[in-house]
Every structure is written in C-alpha cells, then in structure tokens.
Amino acid sequence: MHPCAVSIPFLFLCFLSTSTFVGGIPTHFTGDVRINCGSIGTSTASNGREWIGDVKPKFSSLLQIEGSSTTSTLIDKLISADPVPHKTARISLSHFSYTFQLSPGQKILRLHFYPAPYKGFKRFKDLFTVEAGVFTLIRNFSASLTAAALGVKSFSKEFCISIEENQTLDITFSPASSQAQDSTYAFINGIEIISVPMHLSYYRGGDLGAQVVGEKSLVYIDNSTALELIHRINVKWDSVSSGDDFDDMLGMWATVPAQNGNEFNNLTWKKSVDVGFRYLVRIHFCELGLKMAETGGMIFKILINQMIVDTNTDIVKERDNHGSLRYRDYMVTMKGRKQEGRRDLLICLQSSDELMDGHRLLKGFEIFKLSNPDNSLASPNALPPARDSPSWIIQRFVSSLGNRNAIATASITVIAVINIIVYKLRIIWEASITEEENRPSARAERVCRRFSLAEIKSATRNFSDAFVIGKGGFGKVYRGLIDNERETVAIKRLKSNSKQGKHEFLTEIETLSELRHINLVSLIGYCSERREMILVYEYMACGTLADHLYKLAKDNNTCSSITWKQRLNICIGAARGLDYLHTGHRVIHRDVKTSNILLDENFVAKVSDFGLAKPEDRSKLQSHVSTKIKGTFGYFDPYYFSTHKLTRKSDTYAFGVVLLEVLCERPAMDPTLGEDECCLTKWAQSKINKGEIEQIIASSLIEEISPDSLRVFLGVAERCLHDEPKERPTMAQVVQQLELALEKQQSRKFVAPEKIRSVVNDARTSNDGTISSVSTEQAKVASTDTIGPPPIGGTDGEMDNTDPPSGRKDGEKPKAYESLQRWARQVAFWRVKPSKKEEIVWKSVSEIKLPKFDLERIAAATNQFSSSNKIGQGGFGSVYKAMLPTGQIVAVKMFSFSTHGLDEFKHEILLGSNLQHRNIVKLLGYCIHGEGGMLLYEFMENGSLDTFIFDEVQCHQLQWSLRFKIMLGVARGVLYLHEGSRLRIIHRDLKPNNILLDTEMNPRISGFGIAKTLGDNQSDTETRVAGTLENFRKARVYSFGVALLEILSGKKNIRYPRYDLNLIAFAWELWSEGRALDLIDESVGGAFPAEEALRCIHVGLLCTQQQPYHRPTMRSVIVLLLDKGFSLQEKVAEAASYRGSMERTGASNMENEYLESSFIASRTFEYNEHNGIPDLGSDSAATFEYDNTMQR
C-alpha cells in the first residue's frame, strides 16, 4: 500500500481527536466549586465532598490566582477540625486574588478560616480586607481575634452574591499594612461557591418581596445587593429541609433554643447584629403548623423587634393567593450610628397552643445583612466630622479672620459656639418632647390617625368652652367636628398638671390601638404637637353611666331615669368588654367605674379610659402584676390595696361597686354623707346583713325590679366584692349571671314591697360573707352562691350530651331532663374560656413535671419501632412494647397530629398525669416529635379485657372470682374519676378494650382521649344545683352497666339475630322470664354463687335504665355489689314495670336505647329508630365492632 494512503487517514484521525479535545474544554465551572487553598490535587472531606487544590488546578483557565502569595501548611497538629480544607492555606503579606469562571445565577460564597501559626507567619498578625467584585465583604478583619472571641478553632463566613452572564468572580485579599515593622498578612483556607436554586432565591421579584417591618410596603432585593449570613437557626430540633438536598449541602443550621422557654406561648430569640444596616429575615414554616392555621387549630403572631409582622390569618391568606408557602421574608433596619457597635434583633413567636411548643410552626429562620449603597457589608471605621458640623463651620470662620485680632476672634468664636449649642439643645429638647416622648409605636401609628394641632383647634373652635362636654382631673373633653364637619368626635385634652401624664397618654394609645370590641370605646387618633397630649375618640351621645345614675339628678337635670332592663343591658355590655380585655388581650383595666362606662345613642355600654391599664406579664407564671397603687377611691380592691398585687379580679371588684351604684343610684364615695354612709360598699353590705335591702334600692326601681332578678343581681355583686380574689367570679361568669338576671326580669310578675323584703330572707348572708342560693323548685338555681374553681370542658368547651326525652307525648319532657337542660345553661357560669383552659392544661402538666422522653431513646427502646414490638393499633396510631435502659417495660402509644390525634393527645397527657389510682393506668411520660406525639404508659402484661371475654379460648381463664374482681375494680376506678380525682372526670369511652389487665389481673382503666372534666371542689356545687350534676354523672353510669353485662355474659352489646334484640334487651328478656342467670357466660361452667351473680345482673340492669335519674350512682353501685344483705329484686321490678309502660305507649322501644358515650353518638354510631340496630358511621376511627351473627 502506498504510504500516502496510510498517512491521510491517520492525519484525519489526529485532527478529529484534537478538535474533540478542544471542544471538550469547559468555559466555566458547572455545579458547585470547592477550593482547598494551598493544596495540590483532589481531596475528600469527612462528609464525602470533594475539594480541588489551587496549586496547578486541572482546568487552569477556570481558576486563576494573581498577585504575590504562597502556600503554607499548619505547624501544629490540627485540632477538632476536618483536615480538608483547614490543613493548608494560601497566605501573603501583600494582596492576592482568585478569578473564577462561573455560570450565571445566585451564588453562596463561603470562606473558611483556620487561624493558627503557619510557617513564617505568626498568629494574631492577620488583618486584612476581602472584596468580591465591587462588594467589600469584610474590612480590617482578624480571623485570629474572631476565633478567640467565638471560642472556636475554625469558622466560616458566608455571603450571597449574583453572577451575571459572562461575568467572572474576583475575590481579592488585601493585608491592612505592609510596613516592615508592623506587617500584617492575609490568608484563606478554603473557598466554597454554591449555586442557589431559583425557588429559594434571596433575590425576589414579580409580585413577591420582603415585607418591611413597621410598614405595609414591600421591598425587592435586586442583583445589585450582596448579603452576608449572620445567623441560620434550626428551631424545630430536626433537619430543616426544603424538599431537596440544598439545606443538607449547606450544612450550617445551628440549633439554638429560644429564651423564655418555660413560657410556651411566647418564644423569643435574640440575635446580636451590627447597627446601621438593613437585614433580611427569612422564616421557614412547618407544613403541619400551616395546616393547623388553615383549619383554625392554631393561632399565632410573629413579631420582629416587638412589632407584629404576620399572624395566622395573614399566613393563610398568603397560602390561598400563592399556593405552597415554605417561607416568608421580612426586611428590618437596625438604626443607629455604625460606631455604636451591635444591638439585639428580636424574633418572637406567640402561639395559643402550648403543646405545639412553638416548634411545630417554625422550622427555622435565617438572618442576612444587606450591603449598603456603597456596596459594603463591613462595619466602617470612624468617620471624620462632616463638613456641615459646627466644628467645621467654626474652623472655617476662625480661619477667615486670621490672626489680626486674636481677642475678637476668640470672643466671636465663644459666642458662636454658645449660640449653636443653645440652638441645637432647643431643637433637640422640643423634638424629644413632641416627636419622641409622646410618640406611640409604629404599630399604633399605623392604626391611629395623627391629627395636627391646627385640625384639633378647628374642630373645637380653638378649645371653646361651648364645646366642653366633660371635665375631670385629667382635663377637659370637647365635642368636635372633623373632616369638614362630617363626623362628630370626642376630644380629650390633658392638662399639663394632670395626674395623667405622658405614660398614661401613650398607654391609652397603645392599648386602644390593639382593641376592637363593640363594648370598648374606639380611639380615632391623637395629637402630640407642641407639648399637647390630645386623644380623639368616637362620640358617645348619651354620656357616661354615672351621668344617668346620679350626676344629672344632682345638677337638677330633668333627664328621665333609665329602666332596670336598660341598666342590666348596660352592665352586661360593660362586663363583656372587660371579659374581652381579660381573656382576649390579657389587659387589666385598673380604673373601672361608672364615669368610665360611656353610652352611645342606643345606650350600648362602652368601657373607656385605658390610661392606667396594665398588661399581664406573659413571661411569668404568676397571675398577678406587682405595681404601684393607681385607680379611684371607692373602687379599690382591698387585696390590691394591701399587697400591691394587681389581678384581673381587681377589675371584678371594681365592677361589683359599679353594680351597687346601678342598684342604689349613688356614687361609690360621697363625702357629703356621714362616716358610716360615705362608702357605698360598706353601707350597702351593712344594710343587706341587717335585712334592710329595700333601703338601698333606688326609689325609681322599687316597683319595677323583679325579686328573682334582684336575687341574682345582688348575688353576683356580693361575689364580685368578696375580700378573697380567688372567690370572685371571672367576668365571663359575671356576664352569664347578669344575663340570667335579665331573663328573670323579662318574665317578672307584679312586685309588692314585701316581696322585695323577702329576698333578704331567701338570700341571707352566710358567715363567710357569701349569699346562699334559694331552692324554690327542683333544680331551680340562683347562682349567687359560692363559685368554685371553674370546671374544664372538652375541646369544644361545651357540655356533654345527655339522654334525649323518650316515652313522652309531643312537647312533653320529664322533669329530670328539664333539670339537665337547666344545668347545661347554668353551668356556663362556671365555664372557662378555651384560652384559659389551655393555660390550666399546660400548668397542670408542668406542675406534675411529667418526664419528657426524646425520640432517639424511644426508638431504641422499641427496636426502631419494629413490627415485632407492635402490640396494638388504635384509631390514632400504633402501640408498641418498649424496654427502657433502666429495664422497665412500658407501652408506647403513638398519636398522629395530622389525623385528628392532637386533641386526644392533649386530653390524655393532662388527665393521665393527674390520676393516681390502682384501677387507672399510669402515665409515665411523653414525647413530642415532628408531626406526632407519644405517651408512655406502664405496661399491662395481660393486655385488654376484650381479648379475654370475647375470645372462645381465653374466656375460660376468667372464672367467676376474677370476673367479679374486675367488675368491682372498674367500678372503683370510675368512682374515683367521678368524685375522687381533682378534675372530676367523665370517661365517655368505657368499654372492654379500654380496660387493661396487669400481671395479677387487676383492671386498669385507660383511653382518656375524649374524656371531659367537671372541675374540682364540686361537692358544694352539687348541693346548689339540687342534684342535676349527680344526674349528669348518672348518665355516664350507663356505659359501666353495658361493660358489666358484657363481662357477665361474655358477649358484645350487639343485635341477637335469634331474638332481634341487643344484649341489654336480651338481659331484660331473660329476667322477665325468670331465667336471668342464663345470661352468665357458659365458660364459667356454673361455678359461681347464684346470689352474687344475680345481684351483679340486677346492678347491670339498673345502670342501663333508659332515664338517667333512675340509675344508681357509682358509689351506690359499689355498695350494691358488695352488700349481700340488700335485695334488688324490688328495684328491678319497678324498673321493669316502668319499661313495660313505656313500651305499651308505643312511644319508644327499649331497643331504641340511647348510647351514652357521646364519642359513639357524635362520631361512630347512630341507633336505628325501628330495630335498635346501630348503623356504622363513616368515621374511620371507629373502634367498636358489630357483626351480623352472635358473638362471644
């Protein structure tokens, strides 16, 4: 073959390979870049990431180093740091730079420093500046001093910049001094450049942006701004994930607890930052918390520097508008001179749900410093005096005079200095008085209108006396016309010598700017110009309550007196306003009186004058605020006056004085009267004690007021005036009682004076100063009696369901049912608002100091939640057997908050931690993790009762003695729940699978997820409500009766196909046929005492009677089970007769039994009206099983 024939293809192949190689050279770094400064080749860090050396890099065109620098290795052994990239460094006495060829986009730039002695360079001699492109990142920076201050060996600084298309990134390191005698050097150990995903970009545009703190505007961070990461905090205590591995790649989330960690609804983080810069705060949200906010299950506020930036309502609206919401950005400016150093930036989360612990809402947050207009992120050195400063002006002035007349020059200079100082001081003084001292917060300024003094003078015709509508020690109140005389307002002008000064002025603005309620006066605006302190309110056409009670009459005004019904409505409105203050905003008014209750044109009451208002300290557990005595004589709470401890009940006491003023038509203090009569409270209580009640009632009311209404009104007034704050009602309870008084008044009959006097005989004051209730008919309660501690309702704050009326004609209800209805209405007097209940729940848990377990410990104890450790499955999660490191075996009950398990978790952690009884399962601890929780109970070796009585094999282990022991133990446990426990609990889900058995087969009641509580100290209350509370408990005895019959028979309470009857009806059928003992489980084999077994059957039948008031109490049940000498045959016969009469009327079938557990009634089953067969509901959490065949 010819040589040319071979050489031509060979040359072509060489050319092709060369072209391919040239075309394969990258033009820029793709992906992330990690440079191990001062090293050669590729190195792998301990986290598995690869770093490339800057000495002879593989693609030198992508990374270039300019300037004079050298590489160096640590002299000492590396301590507590990864060798990569900390073992080597690039270091120099003169400036040097890196140039990177990068892809466009937003980049995280992270600089790693390990300050230590390097060969030829001493520690603490490093002092340098770092620049990235046009941005100055750090200036006069010493890594050695920074590490020493932080107490670390190594650290990194992180920045964020934007790289444009075809733009290089130049990073320059410049030592501060190159003088031989004082040389400093610059060094760097590692450089990381990480691309930021678009969905997490810190540069936002379009309709998104960062909300400015203190304003309603948005700002947009563009590419001309550089950012420095100041803090990145993990709040949730687990990894903060963005849905990809970006956060893992950053690896910089610090776990720092919030301050005030003992107050779960007020978490605050303080982070020190430089003043004189803007900061971007990015808050990352937890998906569970956002879902709860959407459903109204979580109420929260987010504050930055004590200003509200977002609420749950705002977040939900944002999600609705923009879909998925992972984070929110906020912009805050830390004002001040840069020379002042640093100041705390405050981030606060206020949540109403304690068990959410704050950490279920927030994943974490980041704080970035933004570069200033001079493209600097560094805190600059001190600046020389400005050209316009007085010192510069004086220097120029003296210079212009020269030295021709030294004395004149000095004199003029001194005069000029004095004039400048006086002028400046005057400006500063006036500004501080008008603009700073009397200026409310930015939040209040957004809500309240700021009036000029000229507008106020125009509205009042220059404060004309003709416009005065009121006056007091504070100053005068004017009627004014604003907005071209279209709106009438009330203008309150404080006198310069008023007792109410700057503090009260600002307090009223701050307080009223947060309040919106129909029974609170509305603040329109204010004026603080030229030392004036003026407040502008909505106009109240009918003046004050005091005007209508006694002031107008004193001035010989012919205004007609307000009726008793009007007075009650006014008192109800004012009480609602105070209740809103106390429970809605935790504010104590501190100056409740009739002159501070205003009336609009419809006589709607409006509480006013919040100058002395005091917010409760949410960071403390105390229910009082220690403060100086302030208020009005005649209304002072004696407890507050003697101890200086202000509570909500101080307002309650003052409101009690208001109630007496309403009834008596005289002021709280009247100095014109004698010593025994000048104080209204002492005079009125003395008259009541003497039986002279008609002497304190205003003459205009004596023939109008109803005795029943008077009785209730006097009762609540007396309770408000109790010397002990704990014995006084809450304002919510006062509202309920006043509404009852109004109801009694509206149904009044003719009143004779002797009937009024009889109220005294019916409502005599007891030895402890309280008024006892009157019982004129069954369950008719005048709730003026002693008020015990408020009961705790369920999660919805409502009373439990009671039996429906049955066996009656249309419209007819049994008396006992009416009593229960009255109880449900009256019990609101002792009911506590949900927010208060939440406080009681968490306070109870914290007082008991229930152990808190971490997730890792429980995971290890359950073998990582192995299926072999799983021992049960409930409606809200699984149950695992676990062995703790101590060797103790426990049961771990799982709850998923995302599947409606949060309420059950809360109930069980409260109730279980407050119960100590041998027949109640013991709660050992809890764990809150991620989107769920766990409760740790003592392990019950023999499982639940249903696995024995309903199993054809296991049932043989339950011979009679064990069954009787279990029945008696369960009865004692239920009695403890009803009467012995502090919380007085109604279980509502008593059934065999909630009855656990220990190693000795002792029963333990469990499953308190839907239980309700009635409060403690209930014995007195039972007497007052004439047995209705007892009937309420009797209604709960039904489920025990069902469980008892199931234990006796070994069969579930289902329909028997053979007889078309359920278990209860079947038991009655056997009893009526004289075959009651045939109900006993066949597995017992006849080995049982017939008399004892029959007594148990009788008890079961009596407990499951259709009407609650026919059933025995749990205490009676125990007596009946144990008393062998007491025959129940007659009682059961009476019950059977009543049952038969109801069946003959055709009004009801016994098979149409009302199932007592409201869990079943409201969530699982509804009974069929025709055949008594329960229809299975759609709730997947149902725990009852019903088969179509006979079951054991």
For residue range 1131-1152, what is the model confidence (pLDDT) as tens digits?
888 777 777 665 555 434 333 3
pLDDT of residue 875: 67
**245 pLDDT more than 90:** no
Cβ atoms 549, 662 nearer than 8 A = yes
- 492 annotated as a binding-site residue: yes
Q: Are residues 1179 and 831 in contact, defined by beta-carbon separation less than 8 angstroms?
A: no
CB 829 within 8 A of CB 1020: no
Q: Is 554 annotated as a binding residue?
A: no
Residue type, 1103: C
pLDDT in tens, 635-666: 988 888 888 888 899 999 999 999 999 999 99
- The candidate with the shortest Cα–Cα distance to 895, out of 936, 935, 942, is 935
Q: Where in the chain is the domain with CATH 3.30.200.20?
A: 413-539
What's the per-residue H, E or C state across 1099-1135? Answer: HHHHHCCCCHHHCCCHHHHHHHHHCCCCCCHHHHHHH
Mean pLDDT throughout 937-966?
A: 91
The total number of residues written for the chain in this structure: 1192
Residues ≥6 apart with Cβ < 8 Å to 170: 97, 98, 99, 100, 131, 132, 133
How far, in Å, CA of 48 to CA of 201, rounded?
Answer: 26
- Residue 1137: both structure tokens together: 């007769």
Q: Cα separation of 666 and 261, whole Å?
A: 50
- Structure token pair of residue 994: 């909630």
3-state secondary structure of 926: strand
Position 995 pLDDT exceeds 90: yes
The C-alpha atoms of residue 108 and residue 1079 are separated, in whole angstroms, by 78
Show the tokens assigned to 834: 């949900």
Q: How far apart are CA 1015 and CA 265, in angstroms?
A: 24
Name the strand (E) or helix (H) holding 495: none
Q: Taking Cα atoms as reference points, which of 1151, 1153, 1173, 1154 lies closest to residue 1162?
A: 1154
Tell me the range of 14-18, 50-54, 150-154 where mean pLDDT is highest: 50-54
The mean-pLDDT minimum among 377-386, 803-812, 866-875 falls in 803-812
**Separation between Cα atoms, residue 388 and residue 408, nearest integer Å:** 24
Most confidently predicted of 299-308, 564-573, 1052-1061: 564-573
Does 558 or 77 have the greater pLDDT score?
Answer: 77
Enumerate the β-bridge partners of residue 73: 88
Winning range, highest mean pLDDT, from 338-352, 819-833, 956-970: 956-970
Tens-place pLDDT, residues 395-454: 444 444 444 555 666 777 788 788 778 766 765 565 455 555 667 776 677 668 889 999
**In the predicted model, is pLDDT for residue 147 greater than 80?**
yes
Burial class, 619, CB count within 10 angstroms (exposed 0-12 / middle 13-18 / buried 19+): exposed
Half-sphere exposure of 1116 (CA within 13 A, CB side): 16
**Contact by Cβ (8 Å): 1101, 1071:** yes
**Separation CA 443–CA 216 (nearest Å):** 10
What is the CB neighbour count within 10 angstroms for residue 615?
A: 15
Q: At residue 123, does pLDDT exceed 50?
A: yes
* Distance from C-alpha of 1093 to C-alpha of 1111, rounded to nearest angstrom: 19
For 1024-1037, what is each residue's pLDDT tens digit? 333 344 555 666 78
The active-site residue out of 54, 357, 591, 609 is 591
pLDDT at 1173 over 50: no
757, pLDDT greater than 70: no
Q: Within a 13 Å sphere around the CA of 772, how many CA atoms are in the beta-carbon half?
A: 13
Q: Judge whether residue 576 has pLDDT over 70.
A: yes
Report the SS3 class of residue 954. Answer: helix
**pLDDT value of position 801:** 32
Buried b (16+ CB within 10 A) or exposed e, 412-422: eeeeeeeeeee
Query: What does CATH list as the number for 944-1192?
Result: 1.10.510.10
Residue 726 has pLDDT above 50, yes or no: yes
**Residue 1191 pLDDT greater than 50, yes or no:** no
Q: Give the pLDDT of residue 558.
A: 52
Count of CA atoms in the C-beta half-sphere (13 A) of 933? 24
List every span in the chain annotated with CATH 1.10.510.10: 564-786, 944-1192
Q: How do residues 474-517 score in pLDDT, each as one tens digit? A: 788 999 999 888 889 999 998 765 555 677 788 788 877 777 67
Region 413-539: CATH code: 3.30.200.20
Burial class of residue 713, CB neighbours in 10 A (0-12, 13-18, 19+): buried
Q: Yes or no: say if 93 and 175 are a contact pair by the CB < 8 Å rule.
A: yes
- Per-residue pLDDT tens for 832-876? 333 443 344 344 444 445 778 888 899 999 999 998 999 888 767
Task: Categorize the per-residue pLDDT at 5 as very low, low, confident or very high, splitting at 50, 70 and 90.
Answer: low
The beta-carbon contacts of 436-439 under 8 Å, at least 24 apart in sequence, are 437/502, 438/502, 438/505, 438/506, 438/528, 438/531, 438/533, 439/528
Lowest mean per-residue pLDDT among 100-114, 667-681, 742-756, 770-784: 770-784
Residue 22: its pLDDT value, please?
45
- 591 has catalytic annotation: yes
Which residue, among 763, 780, 678, has the nearest Cα to 717 in the 3D structure?
763
d(CA 453, CA 532): 8
User: Taking a C-beta distance cutoff of 8 angstroms, is the pair 1013, 792 a contact?
Assistant: yes
CB-based burial label for 496 (10 Å; 0-12, 13-18, 19+): exposed
- In the three-class reduction of DSSP (H, G, I as helix; E, B as strand; rest coil), residue 1090 is classed as helix
| Residue 526 pLDDT greater than 70, yes or no | yes
Contact present, 53 and 82 (Cβ < 8 Å)? no
d(CA 6, CA 9): 6
**Residues 6+ away with beta carbon under 8 Å from 929:** 238, 855
Pick the CATH number of 564-786 from 3.40.50.300, 1.10.510.10, 3.40.50.720, 3.40.50.1860: 1.10.510.10
How far is it, in rounded angstroms, from Cα 103 to Cα 130?
Answer: 22
- Domain 33-196 CATH assignment equals 2.60.120.430: yes
Does the structure show a pLDDT above 60 at 793? no
pLDDT at 608 over 80: yes
Amino acid letter for position 144: S
* Eight-state DSSP code of residue 933: E
> Is pLDDT above 60 for 577?
yes
Strands 487-494 and 534-538: antiparallel
Strand ranges, E, within 305-361: 307-311, 327-334, 342-351
Percent of the chain with pLDDT over 90: 25
**String of DSSP letters for 557-601:** --PPPPPHHHHHHHHHHHHHHHHIIIIIS-EE-S---GGGEEE-T
pLDDT tens figures, 38-97: 999 999 998 889 999 999 887 778 899 999 999 998 887 777 678 899 899 999 999 999
The average confidence (pLDDT) of the chain is: 74
- 192-196, 349-353, 682-686, 950-954: which range is least confident on average? 349-353
What pLDDT does residue 79 have? 72
